[in-house]
Each structure stands twice: as structure tokens, then as C-alpha cells.
Amino acid sequence: MSSLPQTRSAVNQPISINIPLVDARNGAAPAILDQLRAKLSPAGDVVSPKGRELTQKVFGEPLAPAAVVDRICNDIQRDGDTALLRYCQALDGADLDAASLRVPAAELQQAHAAADPEFLQCIRRIAENIRTFQSAILHQDVTITPKPGVNLTQRYVPLRRIGVCVPGGAAAYPSTVLMTVVPAQVAGVGEIAVVAPPTKFGSYNNDILATCHELGVTEVYRMGGAQAVAAMAFGTDTVPAVDKIVGPGNLFVALAKKQVYGDVDIDSIAGPSEVIVIADETANPAHVAADLLSQAEHSPGSAILISWSQSLLDATLAALGEQLATLERSDLTLPSLEAYGALILVDDREQARQMTDAFAPEHLHIQCESARQLATSIRNAGATFIGNHTPVALGDYAAGPSHVLPTSGTARWAAGLSSNDFVRSGSMIEFDQTGLENIADDVELLATKEGLTAHRRSISIRR
């Protein structure tokens, strides 16, 4: 493994990048992928120096993230609003009381009225894209009559109340409101509470509030982080408890969701964003570089290129340096790319397939010949983007599937958020006398084998 510097000679000239270049033909790739996975896992410690300093200030000791979350959750479960407001002040600098925790309806209306009309039209178009896809995949009740006198139904019932976490630390994300709220609405969820940090990018952001109002969300709270997750999970005098919590967030949000799971359902325990791009010499290096940077700019965000073309790797490296020089968030994107990125040279498509399946990326973008064929051969990816005209940003913003996706290797068994995550299924079983008689002997025999005579009698008494 080596690091390739891309020289910078002047302002707006290519920025120097020390990104790992891995020759996987010698078997080195699994090691670096394992290292990246460990660093990006929610079980890791991806906390900024500023975050560590704040932990020391608030808690008086250098607690690990899991210990911070444990203390916050326990305090809010015990003390409710008192602890919630204390943490909003200590962690976010928000001087709130119980009355100001919830965004007033008038403020939502005002934000909508003041919003850019083009922005609102954009929100409407994207919401319709999401509704179309989420409606098409929503589970429907199924009833079968496998034998005379037997009716079996699988029923799907929408959840009563859910909570949505919207990030707001470094940027505003109205797209997250769309990608979480609209699938829940398609499923028929009755009550949706949105939480966003009390910052200019969160619950004080006009675009966030306008999007909520456009979608008909009336319950928005000025809180974020682990304290918001705990408040929604356990409930307080001001914040009614929810049945499920969804939406992305930082490490503390992920760990809080992990801790409250069981008291409520959650969508996932997500780590930082990640993408694997598989590309060959037919791909445009500028496009590949743009796709890698679009994930790295989340900071932290993992951006990995796998190719069997050395020329494509070299050209992409050059394009990364050129494009970084023009990015507004280059100061955040560069360290993210260097710490969590890699350019990997493999023997062929099959090695690329095996490596990708092992990593199980959140996003997979395939830009090579026979891209669809390769895509269908890869089992483990949260969302797959096929071809040169399908950048990951389409899925992040507008295509229709939710951008809330499994990270940290969980795409081996987990799926992206969808309308089906907001319904609960249950079976309905109905037999008449004929149906009972036809199956009674089998039930009585098995109950006898297990020594459960009351079970057997509940059948025989009806014969």
C-alpha cells in the first residue's frame, strides 16, 4: 500500500491528496477494507477534537461516546424535560424552556410563506417521485384459502406514531425530511414528529421548516443528538413517546438509537456515509472523481474506487485534486478522503465483485461495461447505481428510494428505509369445523409429543 500525493502549485490548482493506493493483486485489499470498516463503525470513536472538548466540559471527564450516550439516556428517562433542556443548553447552547421546545405552527407557516417558490416546486416534484416508488412497493394484505374451511391472512397495519431525526450540525438537509417523512406518510402513519438540532442548519433553518409544512408535518422539535433520541423513546411531559425512530445522525445519535432499541423500534444503527465505485477504462475519470467526492464531503465519509484499469485510477487521482480545489467544503472533504478513502487496483471484475460483497457498501456505483450484469451479481449493497448517467446524488435527493441506507457492513442483512418499515405485519387465522377436523389429528399428535396436554385438549374438546 502506498499514498499518492497530487501536487498543488497555486490557488485553484490541484490540491495535494495523500489517499491510499492499494494493489489488491497481492492480497492487500482486505486489510485496508477491514481498517476502514473498523474506523467507520458506530462501535468506533469517530469524534472530532471539538466534540471531545465538549464532552470534557459538560461531563467533567473524557467519557467515551457510549458512556456519554448512556448518561444522557438514563438522565432523560429519569428526569424528562428537566434533563432534556439541560442537555440542549449544555451540548447545543440552546436556551430553551418546555414551551419553546416545539416549533409553533405559525412559525412553520411563516417559513413556508417566505420560502423560495422554486424550492417549494422542487420539493413537490421530489415528494411525488418518492410517493410513486414507495406506494408501488408497499406491502398489501394477502389472504389465502389453502384448504376447505381455512382462511389465512397476512395483515399490514401502519405504525401509530414515529419520530424522525434530521441532522443539522454542518449543513441543512431538507432531503432527509423528504426521504423519511414521505415513506411514513405512504404507509399511513398517523403521527410524525420531526426533531432537528437548535441550530441555523436544523430547526432554525427556513428550508427545513418550510419542507415540514409543505409535507403537512405539524410537530417539529428544537432538539438533536442523543438527547432527542432519548426524549422520543421514553417520552417527556413535552414530547410524547414514539413507536419507532428513524433518520440519520452522528455517532451519538447512532449509539442512542442502539441503546433505546427494545423500548422503541429503530431503522438502523448507522455509521458515516460510504460509497464503492467500480469502474473501468470506459468510465469518465472526472465523473468518477465527482462521485467519490460527493460522499467524502459528508466528512466523515468513505469513498473507495475499485478498478482493474491502472490508467483509470491515475486519471481519477488527478481529477480528485482538480475538483477538490473548487469545492466549498474542501477543508472538510480532503481529510475525509485521506482518512477514509482508497483507490484499489484489482485483477478483474470477479475480484471487484468479491471485494464489494465483503465490504457491503451503503452505496455502490458501477461504471463499466456490462454494468447491469455486474450489479445483479453483487449481493450486498444498500443501494446500487448502474451506469455513467446514474450518480449517487440522484438517490440522495430525488429518484424515489429513500437515502436512509444500511452502513458499516450491515447491507449483508439490512435494507434501506422504505414505506414497509412503517407498517407492522400480523397474521389472522380462521378455521371452521371442517378445517379444524382436517388438521386436528396432527395438532394433537405434536402436542402429545411435546407433553403439552392442555394444547391437545383445546383441540379435542372441539371435536
Catalytic positions? 362-363
**Would you call the peptide bond into 62 cis, given omega within 30 degrees of 0 as the criterion?**
no
Task: Give, for 56, the enclosing helix (H) or strand (E).
Answer: helix 49-59
Per-residue CA distances from 439 to 134, 143, 443, 452 (Å) = 39, 19, 7, 17
295 is in an annotated binding site: yes
139 is in an annotated binding site: no
The alpha-helical segments, DSSP class H, found in 390-452 are 392-397, 433-449
273 is in an annotated binding site: yes
77 is in an annotated binding site: no
Q: Are 404 and 268 in contact (CB under 8 A)?
A: yes
Cell matching residue 294: 460527493
112 is in an annotated binding site: no
450 is in an annotated binding site: yes
365 is in an annotated binding site: no
Residues with Cβ < 8 Å from 40, sequence gap 6 or more?
46, 271, 272, 274, 300, 302, 340, 407, 408
Annotated binding site for Zn(2+): 295, 298, 396, 455
Known binding-site residues equal: 273, 295, 298, 363, 396, 450, 455
Residue ranges of the annotated binding site for substrate are 273, 295, 298, 363, 396, 450, 455
